[in-house]
């Protein structure tokens, strides 16, 4: 008769599993992980490549390219 706490424990495990699934799905969709945050230095090459491509396509002029490149490298 003193085993009523087992039902509560089962619900707690189920709730914990659901929370874990939701957090995992969000992390997978965002492409990041809380255990390995990206630093600015790691993001810079990608941003510079995007900037180069925009300049090559003519979306931005040389002055805007130089200004944005200077901001990214600082």
Q: What is the pLDDT of residues 10-68, one digit of tens each?
A: 999 999 999 999 998 888 877 655 555 555 555 556 888 899 999 999 999 999 999 99
Residue with the larger pLDDT of the pair 4 and 16: 16
48 and 30 co-located in one domain: no
The pLDDT of residue 3 is: 79
The pLDDT of residue 35 is: 55
The pLDDT of residue 32 is: 54
51 and 65 co-located in one domain: yes
43 and 14 co-located in one domain: no
1 and 25 co-located in one domain: yes
Name the residue with tokens 């002029």: 61
How many structural domains is the chain composed of? Answer: 2
The pLDDT of residue 5 is: 84
């Amino acid at each position: 008769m003193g085993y009523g706490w087992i039902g509560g424990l089962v619900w707690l495990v189920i709730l914990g599993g659901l929370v874990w699934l939701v957090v995992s799905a969000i992390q997978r969709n965002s492409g990041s992980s809380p255990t390995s945050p990206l630093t600015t230095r790691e993001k810079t090459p990608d941003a510079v490549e995007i900037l180069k491509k925009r300049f090559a396509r003519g979306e931005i002029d040389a002055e805007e390219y130089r200004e944005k490149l200077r901001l990214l490298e600082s």
